[in-house]
Structure 1
Amino acid sequence: MPSESTRTLKIVIVGGGVCGLACAIALNKQGLEVDIYEAAAKFGEIGAGIGIGGNTIAILKALGVYEDVLARGDGVNPERAQVGWVRFRYGADDHALVWDHSIGIGEKTFGVHRASFLDALVGHFDQTRAHFNKRCTAVIPLKSNPSRYEVTFADGTSVEADIVIGADGIKSTVRGAVTGKDPLENFSFSNTVAYRALVPTSAVKSAGTKIDYTEAGFLFLGKNKHVTTYPIRSGSLINIVAFVTDRTLPMGQATLPPGAPQVVPATTEELVAEYMDFGEDVRKLLSCVPNASRWNMFVVHPFLDSFVKGRVVLVGDSAHAMPVHLGAGAGQGLEDAYLLARLIGHPQTTADNLEDVLKIYDEVRRTRTQHIWHGSMRAGDIYEGAAEYGFSHDEMAKELRYWWDEVIGNHKLDGDTETAVGRLQERGIFAVE
């Protein structure tokens, strides 16, 4: 349970997406009260599905939300596998199988749409502590007490807080309070666009595809492009994400026109034309897409020097939005939320040592998330033949197993907490128990 001096602190989370809600629930589990301020008129998410793997499952169970998330999830056919898997195939010609990779450490891996995931979390949070239509415009230390903050909103209102947690996504306003710069200085185009669509399985079968897209997740490899698919909603829909990467310029040098939208509609003809060098089955799959959206994929880059300044702290995409190629971004946000709650709620954390505790959160999470950020970028290179070994099966399998199984999936639930508490004890901030 938290100490008396932290129990009375006013905690504000800016952003009510998956990461913000998970953070609030984790703090509540530690006996701390928290308010969420969300820019939208209600809780809601857009975007693709979220993959739920071993590290994420452990956190969801610890927060008491796993069963509700699982009930909304969509996995591989349970009669065919007890763990999830991804089947790698070549994009060209007859889509020959490259590698069949099992994922999971004894748990069934599953996917869930972001909106469904959020809906599962909402039921575990006190709705009276949620405040909507509150778009954050600034986080400013009070002149009378610099360890306390005024959070201002676009509607002209404001709230004071002792701890401000930025879960406001890749265009985070709170990030500016941590970096002291325009938050968009760390908002970069990744040189990749992604076409996203949901297609009824019945339409895919009617198109005459030979591959059963309901049996697993698939990843079709190609030069500077790749296509991923996985079944959702009990196999009634196929989620499609088709990537195209421009590798002629280093990241950060490729720019979009000022004011260019992040998401634009795309026609079926445009989508199929991007993949004319792929085989017939994938082209048939893509021809089933009536309305795709083309996403300009952005990341946090250059990396932040810190996720923390004083008592302002970043979690999730606001701190480390990463390439999506390992499917690890949401899970890293949940790891952030879990560790942060465990540290703020630790009985040895006090109002006096809180800033030192948050610095340790930063050390632990920044190291891990930036390592995985690099891995996600590397995975995109592997899928698109840009690794030094091309499409070599053995090298690909070895490297991706390292990232998915060793780095991400096998991460201990309390591993970060043990590391952080150990460092706090070494530095005399916490007593050795």
Structure 2
Amino acid sequence: MNNQLIGALDIGTYKTKFLISSIDDKNFIKIHSKKTVHTKGIKKGNITDIDKLIDIINSCVGQAEDEIKSEIEKIYVSLNSIRFNHCNLCQSRNIGSYEIHHDHDVQNMINNAVNIFYLTNKNQKIIHLLKSCFKLDKKHIVENPVKLKAHSLETELGIISVEKNFIENLNNVFEKCHLNVEKFIYSPFASSILSADQEEFEKGFVHLDFGHDKTSVAIFDKGNLIHSSILPVGSWHITSDISKAFNLNYNLAEKIKVDIGLVFNKDITNTNLKFKDKENNLVQLSEEMLKQVIQSRVDEILEMIEKEIQFSKIFNKGFIKIIISGGGSNLKGISNRIKNLLNCDVTFAKQSFPIKNTEFNIFSDYMVCLGVTKLVYFNFNKEILGFKKRNKGFFRKLYDIFS
């Protein structure tokens, strides 16, 4: 794939971004073009107007292709919708003290797990299938079980799926855009892959991406994505709360949120803050009330995040670090708020792979696109790329479930 151009498309509620890149012989990523347009036709990751979405995708991709005077054959699309689901499924197989074979044992066990998932999730489409580890005889953990002898083999698989109709609607959109999508990629997975180095992957971390109207949580332990979730609240809700509480227009409310954040004076009783609207009129707000409005929404989001972290039980495994990204992570004081609530280290996402001749702040602006690019060029070693869903009769299904 060296020097071959690929496109990474990130469709967000607020902005749609497209990045064209290639990789050179020294494994450096070279950026050829990048474009951003305001999104229409999609909200919280759900399509609300197909025609508007088609126009936005055509505009974003078309502008980037025009810049390099070339059409992109392979496009990878990141998705961030509250309709995603992440579950873990344990699968085991009796070996009988024979050597473990890849096709007969490992691959067959993976395919059976996929079929069991689809038996109870008929309306879902698997986007990512991830393995955590292989275990022999219920106690010996190995990286690769092939050619080893054992009585039994088991593995835990992480399955990231989304509603089938959602994918079919997207396929319809891209077909009308005359674009060939190589793969759909789960956005929290892509941004997490980019945000941490190898040491952090091994030790474990939580990645929080504060988006416009969603917040994603991705939790890694020993290099494995053990839990993820997309919460239906984001930084836009803070702005909306300010706007409604003080009867302000959205732009002024956004400015107040950016200027103040969570940083307030210690003694704010009977203190007013002064701002000017777009007509240069003076607006005075109670600092105490503004603090209550902003902190209430932020604490609600953080409490939802805390529940996801507690569900993963990573606190019981010596978990240390939270990595934050997204536009909402720039809210003044939010890192300290997270640190105080969860009692752990909080850092901002950092670039974890080399980009060649970059002349703009591509990392923060195109983080998800770069994460997709990294997954394409440097496959995540825990992802299972080959699996099959088989159609079976009733008795064959029962055999697979209990074998």
Q: With structure 2 as the length reference, what TM-score do the two structures score?
A: 0.29
Higher strand share: 2
Q: With structure 1 as the length reference, what TM-score do the two structures score?
A: 0.27
Higher-Rg member (1/2): 2
